[in-house]
Chains A and B, each alone.
Chain A
Amino acid sequence: MKSTVDRRTFIKLTTAASGALLVGVYLQSCESDKPPAMVHTFSPLIKIDTDGWVTLIAKNPEIGQGVKTSLPMILAEELGAAWNKVKVVQADYDEIYEEQWAGGSYAIILNWDLMRTAGAKVRQVLIQAASKKMNKAVSELSTANGEVRHLKSGDALPFEALLTEATQIPLPEEVEFKPLDAFEIVGKHVPQVDLDTLVNGGMRYSIDIKLPEMVYATVLKNPVHNGGTGTWDDTATRAVNGVIDIVELNNKAYGGRLIGPNSPNFVNGIAVVANTTWAAFKGAEKLKVVWDNDGAQRESSDGLMERFRAQLDHTTVERKDGDITQAQRNAASNYEAVYEVPFLAHVPMEPMNCTVDFREDLCEVWAPTQNPEALQQGLIKLFGLQPEQIKIHLPRIGGGFGRRYYVDYAMDTAILSKKMGRPVKLTWTREEDIKHDWYRPASVHKMTASMDGNGKVSGWRHILANASRKTSLGRDGRPAGTEIDEYEFPAGFIANLQLEYGHVISDVPLGQWRAVGHSATAFAVHSFLDELAFLNKRDPIDYFLEFLGPARMVPVVDEYAFDAGRLIAVVEKVRQLSNWDSSLPKGQGRGFAARKGAGSFIAEVITVSTDKNGKVKILGVDAVVDCGVVINPSGARAQVEGAILDGLSAALYGEITVKDGATVQSNFHDYRWMRMGEMPEMRIEFIENDLPPRGLGEPPLPPAAPALANAIFAATGQRIRKLPIKNVELGT
């Protein structure tokens, strides 16, 4: 398998730190009778001190996906460290780390080889140092549990006894990885780092930062998407105890709207600065604003969906295999269905916030961001700063789901801190968060299958119409891509296949939402396959397996092939796990969907019951996952449970609507997500293999909606073609 990490990253991160860093640094000792430990830095990711403590740097933002534990586990594994003598330290943003972001389920994919290389290099110099000291051949030495061991004699030396010698040895260019069957940390259930402060309130998230002289702020943004600022009366606001200032946030003053996911764009509005967050909230509520909405389209959801439907006939072809027209003409039958999904908000539990201390020499930022590079670039564009004038800290993040890929709230904060000349902590209300999200695009999907007399599919046409997230930042932008790309399943499996995209320009701000395009396309594709199975009077799993054909590598595009065998294997396993072939009582039904995402293969079966009032109860979820090597079973299982619950919540309830250009929903009462009592039993199994680990934070999400909708069909005979399910009248 070709590594996805480029050479440059490897060289920077796995070579010795600069000379200055190589010199040992004494730590302050807490106990006066004990000499302080001296820390030896081997590389930007690994330090070892003379007390035997290994410090590993967690480079990527932790948003709850577990990377602060899983990436250091890989480092520790190759190093041969003792996990109970490892300290994990969160990195600040630094260009040296590269790929220092959280998104697309990429953390493990991009860092697996990198972490192994970094760990193995330091292991090799420790072994070389031990070889001299112990007078044993390098080939007879190995590391484990914080020691270099000579297995034949049973002799061992702890890492701390080798530091002076080891730091004199240059890190090797070539490394040899540990064989997977020798792993002692990776693959074991490892409780996450930071558990103590996560249960005692001690964890400082970005929203908990407090600095000397800091003031607090909040924003009131123009509720109309793509609206301007306006004029306001702040008499009542200024009368609120604690209110210090009112500041206009006008993006025209900073170049206006800019295109692209790394844009420093922020939404027009007014900020209230005060001596507490509460005073700022109260002050913002009392602002009387006449917003300038001259430039806005003032759309409504109904009107937008109508435009998407109309756009199905005006498309560009994204992929064309064979001849779909000919296939349709030659088919015994053609079957068509249209599916629709709504806008979705992210609502991470930690509302949007940021703390900035904008000083003359340095702009220091504490941000809950999945995308620190975009934040840095935003500050450079907005203020003309140099990279070295910006310091970005990455505290733990209270959930992201794609929302924190955008850095609008951080731009707000930097403007305020610069204006106030002191540190500012900005906190958005939940209402501002929901009304000014970068929503999952709503979309309409028209599916057409051409079949022979036996129901075998010979032609597949999928047309998607929406306002793409890729043009979310301006109505003049053209899509840099779409939600349906050349990889969309079943590309490669069907000889005559056409994927098309109809683009509508809208003011509704759009962005990445967990599993990105898959969250919508999977619902259309896997509901449609279930419809085809029913149409042909076939069992849905049998029909899907026939649709996939034999286990083989299916070429999709140059250098990328789909391993059908791995998908078939998870489907067959979920069939057993769920007792798919057993009968269910009347009123209950099972639904199935299986898909590849972020390199992983997932099959899900959902069992539901519905009562005569149409209330759906999810009785159980069975999922089989092949993500290659599982780094940490505890964290991996948590990701699967969470992603499936997210998929189910969105399918049942998730819906953002716009009216007259503004978002209708405002808080958790009208943007509902599942609660504990609705959490179904989940049986989750992982396929064990030695293949490189792949993404897990997103892939279990997309199959959940179609599996649920297919289960409702099995239970009631009612087909769900439009999400969310709460809007569908279900009665039997």
Chain B
Amino acid sequence: MPSYTLRINNVKKTVSTDPDTPLLWVLRDLLDLTGTKFGCGKGLCGACTVQYKGNPVRSCTLAISSALEGDILTIEGLSPKEDHPVQRAWVELDVPQCGYCQSGQIMEAAALLSKNENLTDNDINAAMEGHICRCGTYSRIRKAIHLAAGKLEK
């Protein structure tokens, strides 16, 4: 099997796997970075969202052979002590219920805020549309993104 070197959370990692292996399974099964979750396998629910070159991507449909050119950021690398403004806002508003979708939601929200800090509800809804939370934490997520935007400005 071919060998690939990826840059994940600022660390170089080398793995041997088939070229069509989705990044999700490289992270979870080969590198034990299990904060990134499997939800649907078809890019339909957002649970597996990570950042690639600063953009949110669905790692369940991104083949490893297409993820070699830029930095990959996962929930484990978002901040050294869960003190990213988005994570702080999530804690402050006690957002999660089961929590399973939250890594993906947080990675999407962090990418969104890195590009635009002045967000309306509609902006947030549009950016988060690809994420399903079966527990219904949507209103707390939306509030937390606004709260995190406020923390960024300071």
A residues adjacent to B (C-beta < 8 A): 63-66, 189, 191-192, 194-196, 198-205, 207-208, 210, 216, 241-242, 276-279, 281, 347-351, 396-399, 401, 427, 429-431, 634-635, 638-639, 641-646, 667-669, 673-677, 679, 681-682
- Given the contacts A196-B82, A199-B91, A398 and B100 also touching, CB distance less than 8 Å: yes
State whether B39 touches A351 (Cβ < 8 A): yes
Chain B contact residues: helix, strand, loop or mixed: loop
Q: What CA separation (Å) do A347 and B44 show in the bound complex?
A: 13
Chain A nearest Cβ from B119, distance in angstroms: 13
- Interface contacts beyond A207-B34, A277-B29: sample of 12 additional A-B pairs, CB < 8 Å, sorted by A: A63-B98, A64-B98, A65-B97, A194-B99, A202-B76, A277-B28, A278-B25, A349-B47, A430-B45, A673-B132, A673-B134, A676-B131
Assembled-state Cα–Cα distance A644/B45 (Å): 20
Chain A: minimal CB distance from B83 (Å): 10
Instruction: List, in ascending order, chain A residues with CB within 8 A of B140's CB.
Output: 638
A-B contact count (CB 8 A): 186
B98: chain A residues at CB < 8 Å are 63-64, 348-350, 396-399
Contact with A along B103-127 (1 / 0, CB 8 A): 1001000000000000000101110
Bound-state Cα–Cα, A623 to B41, Å: 36
Q: Are A642 and B97 in contact (CB under 8 A)?
A: yes
In the complex, chain A residues whose CB is within 8 Å of the CB of B82: 196, 199-200
Which residues from A are CB-within-8-Å of B36? Answer: 201
Partner of A204 from B25, B34, B97 at Cβ < 8 Å: B34
**Complex CA distance for A279 and B18, rounded to whole angstroms:** 9
Q: Which residues of A contact B7 (CB under 8 A)?
A: none
By the criterion CB–CB under 8 Å, are B99 and A203 in contact? yes
> Given the complex of chains A and B, what is the CA–CA distance between A242 and B18 in angstroms?
10
**Known contacts A348-B134, A676-B128; is-contact A278 B75 (Cβ 8 Å):** no
Bound complex: CA of A196 vs CA of B79, how far in Å? 12
Q: Is B58 close to A, CB under 8 A?
A: no
Q: Which of B18, B35, B125 contacts A677 (CB 8 A)?
A: B125
**Cβ of A515 to closest chain B Cβ, rounded Å:** 14
On chain A, the residues within 8 Å of B152 by CB distance are none
Closest to B22 in A: A278
Q: How far is the CA of A205 from the CA of B33 in the complex (A)?
A: 13
> How far apart are the CA atoms of A646 and B132 in the complex, in Å?
12
For the complex, what is the distance from the CA of A401 to the CA of B22, rounded to whole Å? 29
- Are B35 and A201 in contact, CB atoms less than 8 angstroms apart? yes
Q: Pick from B28, B76, B134: contact of A200, CB below 8 A.
A: B76
Given A200-B82, A673-B134, residue A191 in contact with residue B91 (CB < 8 A): yes
Check B21 for interface membership: any CB of A closer than 8 A.
yes
Given A201-B35, A201-B75, A645-B136: A276 touches B29 (CB 8 Å cut-off):
yes
A201 touches B42 (CB 8 A): no
Q: Which residues of B contact A203 (CB under 8 A)?
A: 35, 99
Shortest beta-carbon distance from B97 to chain A in Å: 4
CA of A277 to CA of B41, assembled, Å: 11
Cα A641 to Cα B106 in complex, Å, equals 20
Question: Which of chain A's residues has its CB closest to B40's CB?
Answer: A430
- Are A430 and B41 also in contact (CB < 8 A) when A201-B34, A675-B131 are? yes
B61 contacts partner chain A, Cβ-Cβ < 8 Å: no
In chain A, what residue has the closest Cβ to B99?
Answer: A198
| Inter-chain contacts of B102 with A (CB < 8 A) | 198-199
**Contact partners of A350 in chain B: CB under 8 A:** 37, 39, 98, 100
Contacts of B99 in A (CB 8 A): 64, 194, 198, 203, 396, 398
Alpha-carbon gap, A191 to B89, bound state (A): 12
Nearest Cβ on chain B to A426's Cβ, whole angstroms = 13
Closest to A640 in B: B136
Interface residue B68 (Cβ < 8 Å from any Cβ of A): no
Q: Which residues of B contact A205 (CB under 8 A)?
A: 37, 100
Contacts known (A196-B82, A200-B87); A675 close to B132, Cβ less than 8 A: yes
Tell me if B90 counts as interface (CB < 8 A to partner A): yes
User: Across the interface, which residues of A come within 8 angstroms of B87, CB to CB?
Assistant: 199-200
What B residues does A635 contact at CB under 8 A?
94
Chain A hits for B1, CB < 8 A: 241
Residues of B within 8 A of A198 (CB): 90, 96, 99, 102
Contacting residues, chain B, for A634 (C-beta < 8 A):
94
Contact A430 B42 (CB under 8 A): yes
CA distance A199 to B35 in the complex (A): 9
* Nearest-CB residue, chain A, relative to B144: A199
Known: A638-B140, A676-B138, A677-B125. A667 touches B101 (CB 8 A): no
User: Chain A residues near B22 (CB, 8 Å)?
Assistant: 278
Q: Assess the A398–B37 pair: CB atoms within 8 A.
A: yes
A-B pairs with beta carbons under 8 Å apart, 17 shown: A196-B91, A199-B82, A199-B102, A200-B78, A205-B37, A208-B28, A278-B22, A278-B29, A399-B134, A430-B42, A634-B94, A642-B136, A645-B138, A646-B134, A668-B44, A676-B131, A676-B141
Query: Distance (Å) between the CB of B87 and the closest chain A CB?
Result: 4
B153 at the interface (CB under 8 A from A): no
On whether the beta carbons of B30 and A276 are closer than 8 Å, the reply is: yes
At the interface, yes or no: B65 with Cβ under 8 Å from chain A? no
Closest A residue to B130 using CB positions: A675
Contacts of A429 in B (CB 8 A): 41
**Per-residue contact bits, chain B 31-66, to A (CB 8 Å; 1 contact, 0 not):** 011111111111011010000000000000000000
A679 (CB) vs chain B CBs: closest residue:
B138
CA–CA, A643 and B93, complex, Å: 19
Neighbouring A residues of B42 by C-beta, 8 Å: 430, 667-669
Query: Of all chain B residues, which has the CB nearest A425?
Result: B29
In the complex with contacts A191-B94, A199-B90, A200-B75, A641-B136 CB distance below 8 A? yes
Contacts of A430 in B (CB 8 A): 39-42, 45
A66 to B76, Cβ gap below 8 A? Answer: no
Residue B133 lies at the interface, judged by CB distance under 8 Å to chain A: yes
